[in-house]
Chain A
């Protein structure tokens, strides 16, 4: 099983600043990596797939990069609605696995 490790667990950021979230895979997943956003009491929402392709309707301030084992999600100029938990997911191998999440909170 591929283990996905996200860091940091919590990120404190002021509105208007940028946030950089990391996701590391225990073995290469090529670019088969997705990012999701989850707000309290809501289902997750797909943000990014293919490591860097934004899903439909996702603002340009969300950008993903990386390949192999190291991936990054950057949220530029954080808006109030961006404070949430973010998960990465690899879909290169079975079983499909998620990272433990990064909570982006207001500083």
Chain B
């Protein structure tokens, strides 16, 4: 059974950094892209970033709102995905979900499994 569990969330001051981790099990991690989606309190879903599998180049994509501040990465040896967040803003306050991203052509991705999420609160 596929499992994804996020960790590393919490309260952080504006301008500071935070790293989220996503521990996975139940599937061959290296075969899949991993992505992060966030949801501000009471709001809808916003895609944040994605890291492709080695098969598709181990490259990344980002939403404009986080590009240059956030970095997605992965460690295939431990089946763990990461989201490094710098220069955090109050608008980054959200539940952050780790997702497994499914593709049929290596270019188009949707999300077939989600973790329970971890809350990041950016406040002074």
Chain A residues, CB < 8 A from B110: 32, 34, 46, 49, 89, 91, 96
Interface presence of A64 (CB below 8 A): no
Shortest CB–CB separation between residue A10 and chain B, in angstroms? 14
Shortest CB–CB separation between residue A6 and chain B, in angstroms? 9
Contact flags A66-107 to B (C-beta < 8 A → 1, else 0): 000000000000000000000101011011111111000000
Chain B residues, CB < 8 A from A91: 108-110
| Chain A interface, >50% SS class | loop
Contact flags B91-119 to A (C-beta < 8 A → 1, else 0): 00000010000100000111111111100
| Chain B interface, >50% SS class | strand
Inter-chain CA distance A44–B110, complex, in Å, is: 12
Number of interface residues of A (CB under 8 A): 24
Chain B residues, CB < 8 A from A36: 45, 111
Contact flags B74-102 to A (C-beta < 8 A → 1, else 0): 00000000000000000000000100001
Q: Which of A45, A87, A96 has the most CB of B within 10 A?
A: A96
Our pick among A43, A89, A92, A94 for the contact of B61 (Cβ within 8 Å) is A94
Inter-chain CA distance A34–B103, complex, in Å, is: 12
Shortest CB–CB separation between residue B26 and chain A, in angstroms? 13
Closest 7 CB pairs of A and B: A43-B114, A34-B110, A96-B47, A98-B45, A91-B108, A91-B110, A101-B44
Contact flags A1-18 to B (C-beta < 8 A → 1, else 0): 100000000000000000
Shortest CB–CB separation between residue B96 and chain A, in angstroms? 11
Instruction: Provide a sorted-by-A list of 6 A–B residue pairs whose CB atoms are within 8 angstroms.
Output: A32-B110, A43-B97, A44-B97, A89-B45, A98-B44, A98-B46
Our pick among A1, A43, A101 for the contact of B115 (Cβ within 8 Å) is A43
- A87-B45, A95-B64, A100-B44 known; A46+B108 contact, CB < 8 A: no
The answer to whether B109 and A96 touch across the interface, beta carbons within 8 angstroms, is: yes
Chain A residues, CB < 8 A from B37: 44
Our pick among A45, A87, A92, A95 for the contact of B108 (Cβ within 8 Å) is A92
Our pick among B45, B64, B111, B117 for the contact of A46 (Cβ within 8 Å) is B111
The answer to whether B44 and A95 touch across the interface, beta carbons within 8 angstroms, is: no
